[in-house]
Each structure stands twice: as structure tokens, then as C-alpha cells.
Amino acid sequence: MVGGAIGCDEGPSVFKIDTAQSASFLVACEEGSIRSASERLGVEPSTISRQIKALEKSLGTALIERGRKGVRPTEAGTLLRTYLQHQRSEQEALLSEFDALKGMRRGELVIAVGDGFISDFVGNALQSYKAAFPGFTYDLLSGSTEQILHALRTDHAHIGLAYNAGTERAIRSVARVRQPLELLVSPTSQWADLPEPVTMPQLETLPAALLKTGSGVGDMIALAEANNAVRLQAVVRSNSLAVLRNFVREGLGVTVLPAFVVSGEVADGTIITKRLDIPEFSKGMASVLTRQGRRLPEGATRLVNHITRSMVAFQAND
């Protein structure tokens, strides 16, 4: 956003909101602090504060509450934030429709992707979509499930791909497919001949590399441990899927992940999967998410449909 004003005529009066002031307000709400907003916009914190105060004066109402933990919108501020987000997405959708009239020749799409979806997305969705619409560029944001949800809530991303994402009013689930956690082992390891399904008492005796809490998988594992009053034998805990894959391939032990995360390794025979008889692990869901109420650009809408058709993670797991 740049300086200026946006307005709409309502009879003899004109309602105007300065775009620089509204940008400062909106980013402060999204980031939760004046300092973080200043870093994102590349201006001094005092400039952010001054812009918000000027906006509050022009509208005649308080828009944010300041506290020790940062800032949050007042009731009036929440209304304004919703209005500004809606306006931003409508403007983006309008520009997208102009592009659609030209045959979708260009555009940028932002996708927030859980680490476990990256290989599947790039290999099975992005490659073919890029071939169909070569003028598009893509910004891929990788992070935890909570980081993906935050990117959607704040309109930093058009689409989110997440595992074990909870439900909330602000987020729309476009597609949800059951993808249970499975035991992954090397076919040359001593655990390759374990009978299926593997139970929790068996799993807790196996040396494992596990994802840390904060990820969809890590949180499911922590819940299962708590419900069964056990502590799995985690030789390694990491937030890196590459670490878990290498741990298994080298025959150091086992890990627990949805099968789609290692579809390539399963196809080339370097990892095999085994069913688990653990109720908490059967509830895993892979989801395609957007912000509730956001009008997506045409390119994003088509990409969502393409993702659900082409990615392994979103095919029914019978």
C-alpha cells in the first residue's frame, strides 16, 4: 500500500481512509505489536504509532488497545480490520478477473505449505499447473500448522496445506482427507518383519526419531503418549523431516508419519510402511485451507481444484 486515500461517496458526505494509515493499522493488528509492524513495513515504530493515532482521530474512535504483550484491535478496530481485509481481497480478485479475461497469463500465488506436503505439492501439483499457466509465479511459505493458519488468517497466503489442523471459524476447509500416521521402517532393518498392525505397547519399545510438538504430527504423538500414559523411546526429536527420513533409511530405528510424506521413498523401495493400531493415530487429516470469506483470485481457485485432483495427500486412503 502507498500513501493516498480511498473513499466512497455517500450522498453529500465522503468517507475517506488514508491508505498509509490503514496499512499501519492493519499490519499492527496482524503482527500484534508496533515494533513488528515497523519491521515488516520498513519504517520507524513512531511512524506506525503516528499513523494509527491519525487514523483514530479521523474516524473519531479508538482502534487499538496497547498492553504489555503488544496491541490488539478494539471492537471498532475489529470492524475496520475486517473491512480492510475484505477490501484488499476484493481488489485482488478484481485484478485476477482482469487477468482471467486475458487468459490467466500472469499472477502471483502464495501457498503456505507444511513440510510434509512440499515434495508432493512440487512434484505432483506445481509442475503440471505451471505447465498449464506458465505466466504465474509462486511464493511458498513453509512452516508449522499454526504458522500456516496464521498466514491464512492474515491474508499472507491464498492457500494452506496442513496436517492435523483444528477447526476454527476464520478458516475454511476446502478438502479434508484421512491420512493416518503409519510406522516407517527400512526394508533392510531388523524391524522390517514386524507383524501388522503394530500396537502402542510394541511401538514404545522401538528406537524412534519423532517430530517435536508444534507440528501436526508432533501434537498427535504427544496426545497419544498422554492418553496411553507412555513415553515413546525417542532417540531423536527434531522439527526436520529430512532428519527422520535419514534416521529410518540408515536403519537406526523407526519413525511415525503419514504415508504420503514418504511416497517417493516408498516407490523406490528405501522405506516401507506398517499399519498402526493406535486410535489417536487413525484420526490424522490432510487439509486444503483458505480464509473463510476471502474471495480468491481465479488462479488460486483453479490451483485449489488442481491440488485436490493431483496430490497424493488428497486422494482417499482406503
Boundaries of every domain in the chain: 12-84, 105-178+285-314, 181-283
pLDDT tens-digit series, residues 229-255:
999 999 999 999 999 999 999 999 999
CA 64 to chain centre: 27
pLDDT tens-digit series, residues 110-151:
999 999 999 999 999 999 999 988 888 999 999 988 899 999
Choices 3.40.50.800, 3.40.190.10, 3.40.350.10, 3.20.20.60: CATH for 105-178+285-314: 3.40.190.10
pLDDT tens-digit series, residues 173-231:
999 999 999 999 999 999 999 999 999 999 999 999 999 988 889 999 999 999 999 99
Considering the segment(s) 12-84 as one domain, its CATH architecture is Orthogonal Bundle (1.10)
Considering the segment(s) 181-283 as one domain, its CATH architecture is 3-Layer(aba) Sandwich (3.40)
User: Residue 197, preceding bond cis, omega within 30 degrees?
Assistant: yes
The reply to whether 181-283 shares the fold of 105-178+285-314 is yes
What is the largest distance, in Å, between two alpha-carbon atoms of the chain? 81
Q: Are 267 and 76 a contacting pair, CB within 8 Å?
A: no
